[in-house]
Amino acid sequence: MIRDNQNFYLIIGLILVASFSRLIPHYPNFTPICAIALFGSKYFKNRFIAFAIPLLSLFISDLIINNFFLKSYFNDFVFFYQGFYWQYGSFILVAILGRVALKKLSVLKLFGISIVSSMIFFIISNFGVWLTSVFYPKNILGLISCYSAAVPFYYGTFFGSLFYSTFLFGSYEYLNKKAYKVLIR
């Protein structure tokens, strides 16, 4: 039981460190959220926690970003921004993907799933932008224009997913093995 508690706190700690990185200056969309969704879905045994913790880390960092860094864009305190459900929904799908595809972990599989997760986020979130905004006509050309305009942001999502997946999974495996060696001494 001690080992399970240590793993739980290690997972939470790594997610907090990664979540904090959303609050420091970074390249647009170079964030840890896809990686957190994959990481939480892999290492939390409890399904509710596996989905809730990544969403909670997104929600808390969104609260800080929207109400402190971007407060000039909003009239009141913002709990949820317009269209948040597209982003949150995409991370739920990423977590489901991680739960299914990362049962047996390998570097190659993690690399592939990280790429797929960034694509899921890109496709769903930008579909939501197209569908709900007034910037693009509601036809195939508008959809193509929306996705085309979002490509520069995809680079950040892509590289952020790869970087933070490597950081989270690599740190966990390293620290978990190191802690295990200390416990068996």
- Please give the pLDDT value at position 180: 57
pLDDT confidence of 67, banded at 50, 70, 90? very high
Whether the predicted pLDDT of 64 surpasses 80: yes
CB distance 157 to 118 below 8 Å:
yes
CB distance 176 to 48 below 8 Å:
no
pLDDT confidence of 181, banded at 50, 70, 90? low
Whether the predicted pLDDT of 68 surpasses 70: yes
pLDDT one-digit tens code per residue, 32-43: 999 999 999 999
- Please give the pLDDT value at position 2: 38
Pick the closest to residue 78 from 94, 96, 63, 93 (CA basis).
63
What span, in angstroms and rounded, lies between the C-alpha atoms of 160 and 171?
16
Which 3-state string (H, E, C) describes 142-169?
A: HHHHHHHHHHHHHHHHHHHHHHHHHHHH
Q: Tokens standing for 107?
A: 């570097």
What span, in angstroms and rounded, lies between the C-alpha atoms of 124 and 96?
15
- Spell out the residues 6+ positions from residue 63 whose beta carbon is closer than 8 angstroms to its own: 78, 79
What span, in angstroms and rounded, lies between the C-alpha atoms of 135 and 149?
11
- Please tell me the pTM assigned to this model: 0.89
CB distance 70 to 22 below 8 Å:
no
Residue spans per domain, the chain: 2-184
Pick the closest to residue 128 from 160, 82, 60 (CA basis).
82
pLDDT confidence of 7, banded at 50, 70, 90? confident
